[in-house]
Amino acid sequence: RLRMATGPYDDANIFAKILRGEIPSYKIFETEHALAILDAFPCAEGHALLLPKAKVVSVLDMPAEVASAFLAELPRLARMVQRATGAPACNILQNSGAEAGQMVFHCHFHVIPRWPKDALISAPPSRKDMLTPGEASATLAKMAEPKLPYEATIAKLDGLLSSLENGTLTPPPLPPAAAAKEATKPTAAAPVEAAKPPVAAAAPVTPKGGKTKKELAKDAAAGDEVAGNGKPVTPKPAAQKPATKGEGNKEGNK
């Protein structure tokens, strides 16, 4: 944001010296960002000042973060002044620039208690005819904040970052010439796998003698023993055991 500075800051101003403790003051309260004191030359009992601790000349060159922290104490000071004086109202004034009546060029706010018909401050008279729509439009147009040249670029970058964080970022479209060139590119065909030769079925193995294993198994089931050459096997007679001596005596005693 553009800020209108009212001039360079002077470290030798009286409020800077008060903040540094070089000059005494009648302190009401102090915080990290502000100092509230009684005005040394009050226009009414309870006239108080609120000073920011930041080095700013006026509201016109006060950063937003400084204003936020400093002005948070203004309602507190106004309530304290009203409670102490019993005044039914108060003025809160801030003069920015010499033409507005600023005399000490360190930003400060006046809190002035008010009573009926005290004639402390008189506002200039208002004009008799009401503001017209045309006048309002012209003034509003002049008050519009100027757009900086890079604001559009920043907005686009913010949008891209948001899309990236949300996972919705898509590639930008190709220019017409590039898109046409991309469309004419040949599509690579999928590789064709070479045909494998058929595997020949294994010939059945026939044992010697001309009979297959199946036929041999069938013969075995029928009770015929078959040799490896396919011919029937003649069983050998069982060997006769020689008779023992005891067995011979038994036979003779029968």
Pick the catalytic residue: 33, 47, 106, 108? 108
User: Is 108 considered catalytic here?
Assistant: yes
Mean pLDDT of 127-140: 94
Query: How does DSSP assign 120-186, residue by residue?
Result: S--PPPPPSSPPPHHHHHHHHHHHSPPPPTTHHHHHHHHHHHHHHHHT---PPPPPHHHHHHHHTSP
Give the HSE-up count for residue 38: Cα atoms under 13 Å, Cβ half-sphere. 15
Distance between CA atoms of 16 and 53, rounded to whole angstroms? 8
Confidence tier at 254 by pLDDT (50, 70, 90): very low
- Residue 150 tokens, joined: 């890079």
Enter the pTM of the model: 0.57
Measured between its terminal Cα atoms, the distance across the chain in Å is 143
Between 238 and 147, the higher pLDDT residue? 147
| Fold of domain 14-114 | HIT family, subunit A (3.30.428)
H/E element, 92: strand 89-93
> Is residue 170 scored above 80 in pLDDT?
no
Reduce the DSSP state of residue 74 to 3 states and report it: helix
pLDDT at 225 exceeding the cut of 90: no
The number of residues making up the chain comes to: 254
pLDDT for the residue 163: 80
For position 13, what pLDDT does the model report?
96
Q: Where are the domains of the chain?
A: 14-114
Q: What is the mean pLDDT of the chain?
A: 80
Two structure tokens written together for 117: 């018909």
Q: Which amino acid is present at 141?
A: A
